[in-house]
C-alpha cells in the first residue's frame, strides 16, 4: 500500500502546514497581547508605550453579525486595514485597530423571528461565529476594544448621548449647541422672550416643556412620517428609496401623521456641508452628502391672498422671475389649503381646473384623498403628468398686482421649502407642463437666445417683461436681477434672501423590539422627562413576544404598535426623579439601528470607562486635530459606499453635538474615508432564469453547463440566494489564511469591484510556497539561506523592491506591492541560492500581507521575537537605480535603437551618443534634423525636418 501513497515532502508549505502555523501564531499573538494598543492614560493606559511613537487610528465599518455567515467578499476591507495597520506598526506607529459589532436592528430581529429564537441568543451566537471566522484570518485586532452595540455597558452610553442631545439646543447666534439649561436661564431671566410673550414663571410645566421641545436637538413631535406597514415601523427619509419603498425589504412606504422622535440634524446643515472641505474623502461621497443636504440660495416671498389675512409664503431660487409668476401651487397637505379654499367656483372657471367637482372644497378633498391613497411608487410610475385642482382662491403677485389662481398639486412637495411655490412657467419646465395642461398664461421674463424653440428657458439671459412703476429688472443678468428684486422685497417687508436645505430632521424612533430603549419617561400629564444619568442604562426588557406587529404591506390605513408597550410591568414605573417617588410611563419606541454606529469610534478608544463616554485625554490622543483648525478624527476609515448618506451623515451629526458640548476635541469622526470595491461573483442561471449552484457548473469551449444543461453566466453579487457564495473557511481549508489574504489583496486595486475566481487563488499559494522554499528545505526542514553576499543584480532588485513596496503600502496599492514582492521572490528562485541578507528583508516585506508564514520564517531564520514591531526595510537610494539603463532612441516617436547608458548620463552626452548610433544614422538616411528631445537617461526622440 505504501507505494501508492504520494510522497509529499514532509516540510512542504501545504494547507495542513499553513493551518498549523496559522493557529499557532494566532494563539501566540493572543497570549502576548501583541495587538494591544496602549492609551496615554486610563485602564488601557501605558504612557511608556505610546509616548514616543506617532499614533494611527485605523477603522473598518463594523459588521452586522449576519446569521448566514461570511463569504469571501466580507473580509476584503478588514484584510486591507489589517495589512495597512501591520505596515504602520512596522514603521513605528502606535496603531489602534479593532472590530466591534453593530448588532441591534431589523435584520437581527427578522432572523430571530424566523428561527423562533430570542434575538439576543441568535445575535450573540452570530457574533461568536463571526469572531471565529475572522480570527482564522489573522486580523491583528485589539480584542479588548471589540465592543458590541447590544451590550448594556455600551448602550448605556448610546442613551447617555441621546440625553446630551435631548438636553441641548442650537444657539444660532453662537453657531453651536448649548445645554438646554442655559436656554431656561435666558427665559427665566427674561433676556429671551417666550413665544407668546408671557413671563416664563407664568407658564405651566407642560407649557414650558412644549416651548423647550421646539428648541431641543431631540424632540418628539406629531409630523408626517414614513410609515411602512410591511415592516411595522416608521422610517427615516434616508431609509426610503427614491421610488417610495423601504430600503430594507422593498415594501411600500406611506405618509402618516404620527408622534415620533426626531433629531434636529437640520440645525447642523451648514456645518455638515462646510466641514466636508476638511475631510479626505472620495469626491463621490462628498458629492452625495452635498446633494442630500441640498443647500440652495434664494428668497422667501410672501403673497397676499385675495379676501384673506393669511399670506402664502414661498421659497424660490429664482426671485428674478417674479414678474412671470402667473399662478401658485400649494402641496396637497399644506396647512393653508383649508383656510383659503373658496366656497364656490368663480364665474367662468375652466372645466379642467375643477376636477369635475361641484365646489372647490369637494375638488380639494377628492384630490387629497387620491394623492394620499397613492403610495409614492404609484405616483412615480404614473409618470410626471401634472395633476392638480384649483382651490377657488386667488393670490396677488406683489410686483404685477395681478390676481393669480392658487392650485394644489402633488408636484409640489410638503417636505421641501415651504410646501408652496410661485409658478413661473416661462422659466421652469415643471411649471410649463402644468401651465399647458391647465391652460394658464405664460410670461417669459428671461430672454431666450435667438432661435430658441424650446419651452421653459432655464438658462442665463437678460430679464424682460419685468418692470413696474417702482422697479425694473429689464436688461439685467439673472444674478443681478436676483439681487435687485431681493433688496426690493426686503425693503417692502414681503420677502428676504434665504437659504433652504433639502435635508430634513432625522426621524429617530422605531416600533421594533431589538433596539436601544429611550431613556425617557412620561408623567401623568404626558410631559416627557429625561432620566438622570444614574438610572442608565435603561435595559431592554426580556419579553415573550418580541415580534413586530406588521401589516399588509399595501394597507396605508394601519398604525404602528411598539412591542415594548405589550409589557405593562416594564412600562409602568415608579421613580424618584428628584421630587419624590411618582408614577411614570416609559417611552416604548426604540432607537434605530444607526444609533449604535453613530459613536462607536469613540468607544473603541476607551471601552472600559464606566465614568465617561470617553476620557478626553484619550480622545485627544487618538482623534484630536493634528493642526489648529483641522478636523481631527479617525486616520483611515474603510467601508462600502452604500453608507454615503446614512451612517456617515448621522455619525458626523452626533460627533458635532459632542464637540459643541465639549466632550470631544475632534470636529469630525472620520478624517480619511476609503471605499473598498465589491468582490463580485459569476451567477449561472438555467433556462428558467433560476440560479444554479456555481460550484457545479462546468466550462466547455467558452460555454457553461450545469448537469448537462447549458446555463447563462452573468456577473453579480456574491450570496446564498444566487448560489455563488464562497466562504473564507473553504479557502482557508484548501490553501490557508495567508493565501486567502494575499489573493484578496492581489486581485486588483482596493477601490475597484472585481469578480472572484477560485481557480486563480492557487497563484497566491504558489507564491507562498516559493517563498517558503527559498528559506526552508522541503525534505529536511533545514534553513537553506546562505551567509554569502548577494550579487549586484540581486542587491539592486532587493532595494528596488523595498522602495516600490513601501510606496505601494503607503498608497494602499497592495496589488502592485504583491507583484513587486513576487518579482523579487521569482528572482531568488531562479538564482538558486538565497543570501540571508535578502531573505530577511523579503520576509519583512511580505509580513503585513501574509503575517503567519512571515512570523514562522522569521523564527526559522533565528529570531526569538515576533516581527510585528520589527522595522520595515528601508531602501538604499543608491541601489534603487540600475547600474545601466536602456535608453530608447526614437525617430518621430518610433523606436529605432537602444543604448545601454549609465543612469547619470547628461542630456548632451546622450544626444551625441544617440546621433552617433549606426542604426539611427541609417534610419535617418542623411535627413536634416529639426529637433531632438532628450529625456536622460531613458529616451531620445529625433524629429527629422
Partner RNA sequence: GUCCCGGUAGCCCAAAGGCAGAGGCGAUGGUCUCAAACACCAUUCAGUGUGGGUUCGAAUCCCACUCGGGACACCA
- Report the site for RNA in 828-887 (rule: CB under 7 A): 829-830, 886
Least distance from RNA to the Cβ atom of residue 678, Å: 8
Our CB check for RNA shows the closer of 164 and 418 to be 418
Does residue 892 have a known ligand-binding role?
Answer: no
Supply the minimum distance, in Å, between the C-beta of residue 432 and RNA.
11
Nearer to RNA, 352 or 943 (CB): 943
Q: How many residues bind RNA (CB under 7 A)?
A: 86
Closer residue to RNA (CB): 334 or 663: 334
Beta partners for residue 330, in sequence order: 408, 420
To 10 degrees, the CA torsion angle through 48, 50, 51, 55? 170
**Residue 206 CB, nearest approach to RNA (Å):** 33
Which of the residues 417 through 456 are near RNA (CB under 7 A)? Answer: 417-421, 424, 428, 430
Contact in structure between 845 and 871 (CB atoms under 8 Å): no
Q: How far is CA 139 from CA 26, 88, 604, 619, in A?
A: 9, 14, 16, 24
The string of DSSP codes covering 431-474 is HHHHHHHTT------BPPPTT---SS--S---B-S-B-SS-B-T
Which phi and psi angles does 619 have, rounded to 5°? -60, -45
Are the C-beta atoms of 454 and 355 separated by less than 8 Å? no
* Part of the chain binding RNA (CB under 7 A), chosen from 77-85, 339-347, 579-587, 755-763: 755-763
The CB-of-619 to RNA minimum distance in angstroms stands at: 32
Interactions with RNA, residue window 765-794 (CB under 7 A): 765-767, 769-770
What is the SS3 assignment for 815-867? Answer: HHHHHHHHHHHHHHHHHCCCEHHHHHHHHHHHCCCCHHHHHHHHHHCCCCCCC
Cell 384630490 -> residue:
367
Could you say whether residue 712 binds RNA (CB under 7 A)? no
Q: Does residue number 685 form part of the binding site for RNA (CB under 7 A)?
A: no
Nearer to RNA, 142 or 744 (CB): 744
Among 676, 724, 822, 866, binds RNA (CB under 7 A): 822
* 820 lies in the site for RNA, by CB under 7 A: yes
Segment interacting with RNA, rule: CB under 7 A, options 61-69, 465-473, 528-536, 816-824: 816-824
Q: How far apart are the first and last CA of the chain?
A: 80
Closest to RNA by CB, 164 or 801: 801
Looking at the Cβ atoms of 271 and 318, the one nearer to RNA is 318
Closest CA to 84 of 803, 600, 813: 813
Residue 132 or residue 241: which is nearer to RNA going by CB? 241
Question: For residue 620, what is the enclosing H or E element?
Answer: helix 616-623
β-bridge partners, 258: 223
Is the CB of 175 or the CB of 811 nearer to RNA?
A: 811
Q: How far is the CB of 282 from RNA (least distance, A)?
A: 8
Q: Could you tell me the three cell numbers for 273?
A: 456641508
Q: How far is the CB of 241 from RNA (least distance, A)?
A: 7
One of 502, 529, 585, 860 touching RNA (CB under 7 A): 502
User: Among residue numbers 2 through 31, which ones bind RNA (CB under 7 A)?
Assistant: 3-4, 6
DSSP 51: T
CA 244 vs. chain centroid, Å, equals 21
To RNA, the closest distance from the beta carbon of 869 in angstroms equals: 28
Report 257-286 residues binding RNA (CB under 7 A): 283-284
Question: β-strands 939-944, 885-891: how paired?
Answer: parallel
The verdict on 757 binding RNA (CB under 7 A) reads yes
Question: Rounded to whole angstroms, what are the CA distances from 211 to 221, 641, 743?
Answer: 12, 40, 60
Rule CB under 7 A: choose which of 224, 294, 462, 625 binds RNA: 294
Stretch that binds RNA, among 80-88, 362-370, 861-869, 891-899 (CB under 7 A): 891-899
Torsion 650-652-656-662 (CA) sign: positive
Least separation in angstroms between residue 268's CB and RNA is: 17
Rounded Cα distance, 441 and 453, in Å: 18
Residue with cell 416671498: 301
CB of 819 to RNA, least distance (A): 3
- Report the site for RNA in 607-626 (rule: CB under 7 A): none
Length of the chain: 945
Q: In sequence order, which residues have a C-beta less than 8 Å from that of residue 73 and are 6 or more positions away?
A: 678, 679, 681, 717, 718, 756
Look up residue 315 and give its three cell numbers. Answer: 421659497
Does 682 participate in binding RNA (rule CB under 7 A)? no
> What is the pattern of x (binds RNA, CB under 7 A) and - over residues 220-259?
----------------------x-----------------
Q: What binding mask, one character per residue, do residues 625-664 give for RNA by CB under 7 A, x or -?
A: ----------------xx-xx-------------------
Site for RNA in 25-84 (CB under 7 A): none
Least distance to RNA from the beta carbon of 202, Å? 38
d(CA 608, CA 617): 15
Site for RNA in 731-750 (CB under 7 A): 746-749
The one among 280, 286, 416, 730 contacting RNA by CB under 7 A: 416
CA 94, CA 869: separation in Å to the nearest integer? Answer: 10
Asked if residue 304 lies in contact with residue 396, where contact means CB atoms within 8 angstroms, the answer is yes
Cα 478 to Cα 322, 323, 429, 602, distances in angstroms: 12, 13, 17, 48
Considering the rule CB under 7 A, would residue 762 count as an interface residue with RNA? yes
Residue 752 beta carbon to RNA: minimum distance, rounded to whole angstroms: 5
Q: Please, what is the Cα angle at 769 between 768 and 774, to 5 degrees?
A: 95
Residues 325-344 that bind RNA (CB under 7 A): 331
How many CB atoms sit inside 10 A of residue 259's CB? 11
> What residues numbered 902-921 form the site for RNA, per CB under 7 A?
none
Q: Sort residue 81 into left (φ over 0), alpha (ψ -120 to 50) or beta.
A: alpha
Q: Which stretch binds RNA (CB under 7 A): 103-111, 174-182, 315-323, 512-520?
A: 315-323
Between 171 and 730, CB nearer to RNA: 730
**Residue with Cβ nearer RNA (488 or 765):** 765
Decide: helix, strand or coil at residue 577: coil
Residue with cell 469610534: 601
CB burial of 164-199 (b: ≥16 within 10 Å; e: otherwise) equals bbbbbbbbeeeebbbebeebbeebeeeeeeeeeeee
Q: Is 941 in the site for RNA (CB under 7 A)?
A: yes
> Could you tell me the smallest distance in angstroms from the CB atom of residue 580 to RNA?
49
The binding track of 513-542 with respect to RNA, each residue x by CB under 7 A or -, is ------------------------------
Binding to RNA by residue 352, rule CB under 7 A?
Answer: no
- Among 227, 412, 398, residue whose Cα is nearest residue 337: 412
Question: Which range in 291-299, 305-313, 851-859, 903-911 contacts RNA by CB under 7 A?
Answer: 291-299
Strands 55-60 and 636-639: parallel
Identify the CA nearest to 216 among candidates 602, 509, 505: 505
- Applying CB under 7 A, among 455, 480, 561, 823 the residue interacting with RNA is 823
C-beta closer to RNA: residue 233 or 289: 289
Closest to RNA by CB, 328 or 868: 328
- Is residue 712 within a helix (H) or strand (E), and if so which, with residue range? strand 709-716
- Under the binding rule (CB under 7 A), the answer on residue 759 touching RNA is yes
The DSSP secondary-structure symbol of 359 reads: S
Nearer to RNA, 358 or 499 (CB): 499
Options 205, 344, 760, 929; binder of RNA; rule CB under 7 A: 760
CB of 312 to RNA, least distance (A): 12
- β-bridge mates for residue 317, sequence order: none
Known binding positions: 720
Known binding positions for ATP: 720
Amino acid at each position: 500500500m505504501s507505494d501508492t501513497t504520494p510522497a509529499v515532502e514532509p516540510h512542504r508549505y501545504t494547507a495542513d502546514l499553513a493551518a498549523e502555523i496559522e493557529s499557532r501564531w494566532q494563539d501566540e499573538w493572543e497570549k502576548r497581547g501583541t495587538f494591544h494598543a496602549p492609551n496615554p492614560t486610563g485602564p488601557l493606559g501605558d504612557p511608556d508605550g505610546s509616548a514616543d511613537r506617532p499614533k494611527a487610528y485605523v477603522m473598518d465599518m463594523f459588521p452586522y453579525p449576519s446569521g448566514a455567515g461570511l463569504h469571501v467578499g466580507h473580509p476584503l476591507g478588514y484584510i486591507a486595514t489589517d495589512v495597512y495597520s501591520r505596515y504602520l506598526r512596522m514603521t513605528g506607529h502606535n496603531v489602534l485597530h479593532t472590530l466591534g459589532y453593530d448588532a441591534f436592528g431589523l435584520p437581527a430581529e427578522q432572523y430571530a423571528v424566523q428561527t423562533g429564537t430570542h434575538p439576543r441568543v441568535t445575535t450573540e451566537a452570530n457574533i461568536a461565529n463571526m469572531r471565529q471566522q475572522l480570527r482564522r484570518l489573522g486580523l491583528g485586532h485589539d480584542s479588548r476594544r471589540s465592543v458590541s452595540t447590544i451590550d448594556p455597558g455600551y448602550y448605556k452610553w448610546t442613551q447617555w448621548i441621546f440625553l446630551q442631545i435631548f438636553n441641548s439646543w442650537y444657539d444660532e447666534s453662537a453657531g453651536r449647541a448649548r445645554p438646554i439649561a442655559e436656554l431656561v436661564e435666558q427665559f427665566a431671566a427674561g433676556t429671551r422672550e417666550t413665544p407668546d410673550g408671557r413671563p416664563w414663571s407664568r407658564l405651566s410645566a407642560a407649557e414650558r416643556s412644549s416651548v423647550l421641545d421646539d428648541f431641543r436637538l431631540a424632540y418628539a413631535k406629531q409630523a408626517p412620517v414614513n410609515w411602512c406597514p410591511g415592516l411595522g415601523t416608521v422610517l427615516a427619509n434616508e431609509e426610503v428609496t427614491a421610488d417610495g419603498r423601504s430600503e430594507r425589504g422593498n415594501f411600500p412606504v406611506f405618509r402618516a401623521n404620527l408622534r415620533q422622535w426626531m433629531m434636529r440634524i437640520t440645525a447642523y446643515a451648514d456645518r455638515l456641508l462646510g466641514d466636508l472641505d476638511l475631510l479626505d474623502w472620495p469626491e463621490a461621497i462628498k458629492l452625495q452628502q452635498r446633494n442630500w443636504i441640498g443647500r440652495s440660495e434664494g428668497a422667501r416671498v410672501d403673497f397676499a391672498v385675495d379676501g384673506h389675512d393669511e399670506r402664502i409664503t414661498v421659497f424660490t431660487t429664482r426671485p428674478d422671475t417674479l414678474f412671470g409668476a402667473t399662478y401658485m401651487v400649494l402641496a396637497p397637505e399644506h396647512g393653508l389649503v383649508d383656510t383659503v379654499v373658496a366656497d364656490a367656483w368663480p364665474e367662468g372657471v375652466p372645466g379642467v381646473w375643477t376636477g369635475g367637482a361641484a365646489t372647490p372644497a369637494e375638488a380639494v378633498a377628492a384630490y387629497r384623498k387620491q394623492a394620499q391613497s397613492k403610495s409614492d411608487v404609484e405616483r412615480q410610475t404614473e409618470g410626471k403628468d401634472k395633476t392638480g385642482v384649483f382651490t377657488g382662491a386667488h393670490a396677488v403677485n406683489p410686483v404685477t398686482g395681478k390676481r393669480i389662481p392658487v392650485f394644489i398639486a402633488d408636484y409640489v412637495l410638503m417636505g421641501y421649502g415651504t410646501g408652496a411655490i410661485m409658478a413661473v412657467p416661462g422659466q421652469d419646465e415643471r411649471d410649463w407642463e402644468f401651465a399647458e395642461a391647465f391652460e394658464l398664461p405664460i410670461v417669459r421674463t428671461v430672454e431666450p437666445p435667438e432661435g430658441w424653440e424650446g419651452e421653459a428657458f432655464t438658462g442665463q439671459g437678460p430679464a424682460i417683461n419685468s418692470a413696474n412703476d417702482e422697479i425694473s429688472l429689464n436688461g439685467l443678468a439673472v444674478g443681478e436681477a436676483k439681487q435687485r428684486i431681493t433688496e426690493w422685497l426686503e425693503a417692502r417687508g414681503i420677502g428676504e434672501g434665504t437659504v433652504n436645505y433639502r435635508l430634513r430632521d432625522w426621524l429617530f424612533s422605531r416600533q421594533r423590539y431589538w433596539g436601544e430603549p429611550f431613556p425617557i419617561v412620561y408623567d401623568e400629564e404626558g410631559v416627557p422627562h429625561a432620566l438622570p444619568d444614574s438610572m442608565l442604562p435603561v435595559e431592554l426588557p426580556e419579553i415573550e413576544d418580541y415580534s413586530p406587529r406588521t401589516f399588509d404591506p399595501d394597507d396605508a390605513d394601519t398604525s404602528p404598535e411598539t412591542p415594548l408597550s405589550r409589557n405593562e410591568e416594564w412600562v409602568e414605573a415608579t421613580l424618584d426623579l428628584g421630587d419624590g417617588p411618582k408614577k411614570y410611563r416609559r417611552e416604548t419606541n426604540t432607537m434605530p439601528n444607526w444609533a449604535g454606529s453613530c459613536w462607536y469610534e469613540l468607544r473603541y478608544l476607551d471601552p472600559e470607562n464606566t465614568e465617561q463616554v470617553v476620557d478626553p485625554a484619550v480622545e485627544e490622543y487618538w482623534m484630536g486635530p493634528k493642526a489648529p483648525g483641522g478636523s481631527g478624527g479617525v486616520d483611515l476609515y474603510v467601508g462600502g459606499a452604500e453608507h454615503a448618506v446614512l451612517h456617515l451623515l448621522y455619525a458626523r451629526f452626533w460627533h458635532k453635538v459632542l464637540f459643541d458640548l465639549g466632550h470631544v476635541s475632534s470636529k469630525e469622526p472620520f478624517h480619511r474615508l476609503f471605499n473598498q470595491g465589491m468582490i463580485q461573483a459569476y451567477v449561472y442561471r438555467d433556462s428558467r432564469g433560476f440560479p444554479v449552484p456555481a460550484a457545479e457548473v462546468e466550462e466547455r469551449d467558452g460555454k457553461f453547463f450545469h448537469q448537462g444543461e447549458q446555463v447563462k453566466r452573468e456577473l453579480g453579487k456574491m450570496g446564498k440566494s444566487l448560489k455563488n457564495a464562497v466562504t473564507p473557511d473553504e479557502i482557508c481549508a484548501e490553501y490557508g489564511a495567508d493565501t486567502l489574504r494575499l489573493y484578496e489583496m492581489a486581485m486588483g486595486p482596493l477601490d475597484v469591484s472585481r469578480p472572484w475566481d477560485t481557480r486563480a487563488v492557487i497563484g497566491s499559494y504558489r507564491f507562498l510556497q516559493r517563498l517558503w522554499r527559498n528559506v526552508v528545505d522541503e525534505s529536511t526542514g533545514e534553513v537553506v539561506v546562505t551567509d554569502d553576499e548577494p550579487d549586484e543584480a540581486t542587491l539592486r532588485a532587493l532595494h528596488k523592491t523595498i522602495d516600490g513596496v513601501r510606496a505601494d503600502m503607503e498608497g494602499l496599492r497592495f496589488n502592485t506591492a504583491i507583484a513587486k514582492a513576487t518579482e523579487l521572490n521569482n528572482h531568488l528562485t531562479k538564482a538558486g541560492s538565497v543570501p540571508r541578507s535578502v531573505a530577511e528583508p523579503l520576509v519583512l516585506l511580505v509580513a503585513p500581507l501574509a503575517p503567519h508564514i512571515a512570523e514562522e520564517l522569521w523564527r526559522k531564520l533565528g529570531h526569538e521575537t515576533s516581527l510585528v514591531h520589527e522595522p520595515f526595510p528601508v531602501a538604499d537610494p543608491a541601489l534603487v537605480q540600475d547600474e545601466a539603463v536602456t535608453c530608447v532612441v526614437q525617430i518621430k516617436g518610433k523606436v529605432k535603437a537602444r543604448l545601454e547608458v549609465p543612469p547619470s548620463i547628461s542630456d548632451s552626452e546622450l544626444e551625441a551618443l544617440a546621433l552617433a548610433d549606426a542604426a539611427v544614422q541609417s534610419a535617418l538616411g542623411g535627413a536634416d534634423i529639426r529637433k531632438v528631445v532628450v529625456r536622460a537617461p531613458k529616451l531620445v526622440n529625433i524629429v527629422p525636418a
